[in-house]
Structure 1
């Protein structure tokens, strides 16, 4: 294994796994596997990039750090030459972490300075300029992320956000240095006394420049875009072969589970519900135990073949009202557990195509499916929309798509199920 990724949630893990598997033309990408947590055994021979997906984004800081260091230990044992700490392209974190504390722990473990910090993903509208994170033409703090129910982002200055979460100073590699080329970026990083450096990136070309600059770096941090050019570093040096993603389509029963409250997911839910059977989750019923996973399974089975959807995606006001009544953490944990139980039931009943929306929901569902099928890894298939691939489990008998809340076109759910049946 050449590249090892520590992702702080499952959709983010799928996102960067997709980037590594796809690579850039003409070289292509790496043979990539995604893991549901830290594996207990060795990686399968031939895997060139391994992505360990944790549920550490909103975990207590100490727990997130411990999980990430355990992932680093396993990846190092597999021979990884470069480690990437992958977080969301909207830098999702609380005032205490976990991006800063985890980055700091990994950098100290690997004895690194001038570590790149770059959540940019221009294809999805996330760019970094003058050290500030933008979502399309809006500062992060004005993009809607300030209303996130778990990790509200009210500051777009990445240096300030990261600096508040760590004991380390944070430097900056500005846009003019990036446009000057990889050598200038490399020299700027090498000359830094600071542990971390926020690096501007407003285009894919900038990300490729950064990739060239960090060839050989032990640690890189960022969104999935930071990995855009990393595979070709290994392919050009002859340490990896490169090529195209391998994929075997599958048909069979289908289900869509949406637990994200993002604006993009709400739009996708509205679009899909107008055309297919859809069940809005009665959250108070879930919390008092009158709504169970059996109710969800019954609905999905009764509408098999019609792309049925179950969702808990509410508006910010609706989510706030529920959280005030039942508590934020308690509500999230209860819903995730219910989605996980539903997924286990579906797999046991022979379901082969499952689409999931929402980072926390995806983590719960992915772990449940892997446990049910008794597998550790998910192989990366073709890209449905930017940042969202099809994942194959259990020798491709089960296909899954894990979508971050803000990703995907309006018709994403239909498209995902259709592509799973198609030899693309």
Structure 2
């Protein structure tokens, strides 16, 4: 059985692709970081490792990714998939380019694919330009991202600025109307292009990409390609269902750190219906008693019908003011640490269900809860599944900033059962 090893650059990205592959019928396990021990992967189609490598120094991201590749190979993974965000979150220095190059050297391969398309979530590619819900990437809300603002939509321009090779494009006309020519096109690009960008408008196009790159030892992209790879593996599909029983007993909390436009909408929608508390960044930075104060507020509202919401989510203009005073990296790190400490405190007080928004926030919460492995359950929104911590009655849902509809926090709680 072919086994895919997935290296994801953040935790929500890991659950995203795991969910899509489970939806296609695969059995998937997910680990938070590189495990210390071997894993009996019999009957598992994909093993996913969630790193926290998106925004760290490039050399550290490369080191972590290579360690993950080593472990996945030891577990019998035949191919590797480098998973990054469907909005190609990165800076001019990386980390998508440096990690991709390092993995290509590790596997001794001269060509790979760049495929951040996820049509189910509005991410499409036309003539090598990435679109988010019909808007060019640089005209979407991602241009205001506090850590990795995306000011260009050309994947070729973005990748070549941070990598050691050239990109080329398989255009939509070839993908849709001349699929028999894709193989010849890839052969013609050998020795000329290191990274191939396929235009993608729908899931049928993703299947064409997966088929064309089936022999690549390394592929890179977002969850859509993961779904297509799993869907092509029809002989090993298991569509019997992956429903997960999430107990209503115990308390739930919503923790939101993303400042994306969609998460802002979700916070606005939810705070009109449930108790909510906006975090005070100044107090996070300077008040040693603030964590206790916030935890007590959550405990006071825990018995209510809807889970209380604690959020650092703010419109971009407000975040920019705070960042100018203290520095973006410093503020982000302090907020993440606060969420990690808050999750740990609440878990000790009886909270066993955590609804989390934001990639960096999700990574912090999983660290705070000391989560090493997870079983992937049913998706609340495309690419956003409920997960159960291995061997524990503890459930976590981790949402990337722009995923889900405005009622996501509310909808997630519909999965609780007595």
- Structure 1 residue 180: Cα displacement: 3.6
- Structure 1 residue 181: Cα displacement: 5.7
Distance 2:240 2:234 in 1: 10
CA contact (8 A) 2:20 2:382 kept: no
CA contact (8 A) 1:85 1:220 kept: yes
Distance 2:322 2:98 in 1: 30
Distance 1:244 1:215 in 2: 26
Distance 2:184 2:239 in 1: 28
Question: Is residue 188 of structure 2 the alignment partner of residue 191 of structure 1?
Answer: yes
Aligned partner (choices 147, 168, 171) of residue 168 of structure 2: 171
- Structure 1 residue 242: Cα displacement: 5.8
1:329-344 counterparts in 2 under 5 A?
329-344=329-344
Unaligned runs of 5+ in 2: none
Distance 1:338 1:226 in 2: 34
Q: What TM-score, normalized to structure 1?
A: 0.93
Distance 2:89 2:246 in 1: 33
After superposition, the Cα gap between the structure-2 partners of 1:183 and 1:150, relative to the gap in structure 1 and judged at 3 Å, is same
Give SS of 1:58's match: coil
After superposition, the Cα gap between the structure-2 partners of 1:184 and 1:349, relative to the gap in structure 1 and judged at 3 Å, is farther
Q: What TM-score, normalized to structure 2?
A: 0.94
Question: Is residue 228 of structure 2 the alignment partner of residue 229 of structure 1?
Answer: yes
Give SS of 1:55's match: coil
After superposition, the Cα gap between the structure-2 partners of 1:291 and 1:274, relative to the gap in structure 1 and judged at 3 Å, is farther
Aligned match of 1:312: 312
Aligned match of 2:348: 348
Distance 2:64 2:229 in 1: 24
Unaligned runs of 5+ in 1: 24-28
Distance 1:291 1:385 in 2: 36
- Structure 1 residue 212: Cα displacement: 1.8
Question: Is residue 119 of structure 2 the alignment partner of residue 107 of structure 1?
Answer: no
Aligned match of 1:269: 267
- Structure 1 residue 357: Cα displacement: 0.4
Q: What is the number of residues matched between the two proteins? A: 411
CA contact (8 A) 1:359 1:404 kept: yes
- Structure 1 residue 64: Cα displacement: 0.6
CA contact (8 A) 1:182 1:212 kept: no
Aligned match of 1:323: 323
Aligned match of 1:34: 30
Distance 1:60 1:124 in 2: 29
CA contact (8 A) 2:207 2:232 kept: no
- Structure 1 residue 340: Cα displacement: 0.4
RMSD of aligned residue pairs (Cα, Å): 1.6
Aligned match of 2:77: 80
Stretch deviating more after TM superposition (111-120 or 258-267): 111-120
Aligned match of 1:387: 383
- Structure 1 residue 376: Cα displacement: 2.3
- Structure 1 residue 172: Cα displacement: 1.3
Aligned match of 2:411: 415
1:387-406 counterparts in 2 under 5 A?
387-395=383-391, 397-406=393-402
- Structure 1 residue 106: Cα displacement: 0.7
Question: Is residue 299 of structure 2 the alignment partner of residue 301 of structure 1?
Answer: yes
Aligned match of 2:247: 250
Residues 321-358 of structure 1, C-alpha deviation per residue, up to 9 Å, x if partnerless? Answer: 11111111111111101100111112222211110001
Distance 1:85 1:289 in 2: 40
